[in-house]
Structure 1
């Protein structure tokens, strides 16, 4: 028995997550919305160490308003993508999104042949 390679799935996941990256760069949630399930969630920890987040609409609202602004200089790297069947996780590190640096962890599911983000957690790095 051979192990699946998931090459096509990897490429499809990168395409989905690039919608998120481009939405961050342009500060337009409409670009990233197709990457997410309507039921997706987002969570992180604020500067006081408290859990923040909830429905993904919170991300969209944040992206469309200050302090977020177009950041064409933002750079992202896919640190890893792990795929097993219809489930996947991905880590993206991004620098210079409106002066912030993030590490994002995404959970994705392949639903009816299409990859979609169902949850995102993040860490905001302290910048000098």
Structure 2
């Protein structure tokens, strides 16, 4: 059902300069992040991330952790896939701002992470400007 709604939203999306809808462009940016990260393609991450992006998380001692996007990209080794799987869970956008949720699964460790993104449409291109992530502890979905 969600795939049908997602496809419908893509079909009715507002067209941008490249002929893609905004929703398709946001999804492509998120796909560049997912595939860049999981397939060992740092250049795709550079395409998806704003140069000033930081990643935020809660440390084990319950304090704020900040990881620079630049360091994240440097830690991604060219041609070295992580074995992870990623999928887009949701996208919500208005005009030139979007929020998105992505799930990243680690089959070997059996852990799943949830990434929340803020994207902005800057100079007609959707780019990730903020990422916060956490480990999934339940399968609850709230809509």
Structure 2 unmatched runs, 5+: 1-11, 15-20, 138-143
- Secondary structure (helix, strand or coil) at the match of 1:27 reads coil
Give the corresponding residue for 1:33.
46
What is aligned with 1:110? 121
The number of residue pairs the alignment matches comes to 118
RMSD, matched Cα: 2.3
**1:6 and 2:13 are equivalent in the alignment:** yes
Write out per-residue CA displacement over residues 65-120 of structure 1, whole angstroms, 9 at most, x where no aligned residue.
xxxx6234x32222110010000000001101774521000100111111001110
Aligned counterpart, 1:48: 61
State which drifts further: 101-110 or 48-57. 48-57
| Secondary structure, aligned partner of 1:42 | strand
Q: Is the 8 A contact 1:78 1:93 kept in 2?
A: yes
Provide the C-alpha distance between the structure 1 equivalents of 2:37 and 2:122, rounded to a whole number of angstroms.
24
Q: Which of the pair is proportionally richer in strand?
A: 1
Q: How does 1:1-128 map to 2 (within 5 A)?
A: 6=13, 8-64=21-77, 70-72=81-83, 74-96=84-106, 99=109, 100-125=111-136
Q: Note the C-alpha offset of 1:24.
A: 1.8
Task: Determine if contact 2:34/2:87 at 8 Å carries over to the other structure.
Answer: no
CA contact (8 A) 1:24 1:97 kept: no
Of 84-93 and 32-41, the range deviating more from structure 2: 32-41
Q: In 2, Cα distance between the equivalents of 1:105 and 1:94? A: 11
Cα distance in 2 for residues equivalent to 1:58 and 1:98: 24
TM-score w.r.t. length of structure 2: 0.71
